[in-house]
A and B are shown apart, each in its own frame.
Chain A
């Protein structure tokens, strides 16, 4: 719609100026904190905390990253998160893709009741406590299964995937295969799956990023720190550390604890921006290349509303 043959009027020119100012402002507001974090992660913490560093690195140092390199909890958390993300994504895909395919089939007799069965869970849920008691009763508390299995199926993602199958894989083709004697399994594995790379990629990204960024399941279901995913370690460094710092000004603490807390606060100041970067790095690195897949996921979902 920008290929206008008619020249821009004066009003349109003014509009364009405002448009670009608005977009530039939006981009600046988003990008500034991100640049700040990157710069702060390689700057002298004193310069950061005093406000001297406000855009580009000041007092360049890699000390923060050196401390992070030696911080065992972070790397153990990293390992656990990679495991949760890979295992969780695989389990989720195995549950989501076949199920979505089955209910996309117009001739599937279980389609209707199963769809209702799924949609009910979008309105009603038992809530946090009954879920917790269930996990406990199943003996999954404090095991990796509690992170991987309970949230493996997202009804929303099934609905999105079903929409993809309905609009991208012609039913006539599957029907022809069926007449030729192909079983439903054969149709699914030999015809549908090879044509479904885009939706599998989209779902893997949705589930994968969700798993990478989530911490609440671990907070509720895990006590054993060696099972903590990265986000739980981050929470300790970024959120809880700061609370201790805040508490230390309350007075009433002995000198040695005060000293200890000061040291801890210093440590936190050095590494906090670095850990934000290190923990987000995989997502930051893949995001620009896979942006179109993420967008595609939203669009497929919106088609069916």
Chain B
């Protein structure tokens, strides 16, 4: 399985976020998308799963299921955790495993994998930021999909949870999946290649200190 992008560009709000981005990821590989805030890391991931329109360039997946789109074969872990505060931890995960389909592990096993099994009955409203993150990571474990698109997966996780996620990612790679991760820090996986955004797209000006908007126009 192999995902390749050539000369990809993305526009948001009439402004170019990135352009001329090309990369290839194949089974067993991790591509870390790095770059300063606003370089378009999140936008790149959202473009890959079709949540943003491709302004230019193309995206091809070889070796996947030809009847499904990239988004339908991918797990997308965004900034937001996609959890409902009034549902319990187990109910939240049950919903996503039911909705995403093709269960790989039952809910209890997936919760155990992220260390939340003792909180299964607790409403998600009472979870801390790191626990919420772990609950949404449990989704990756519970439903098998070979493409993982992770947006800052390590943020808010403590050291133990980061190790655990590293373990999940290594197991995923060993099973022939691949990972595209927007990140600022190390992912804890040796064979990580890096795609630096912000230097490829020449149109991306560095935020000037004089403009109060430029630094926060699009948080990555």
Determine if chain A interacts with chain B.
no
Q: Name B residues whose Cβ lies closer than 8 Å to a Cβ of A.
A: none
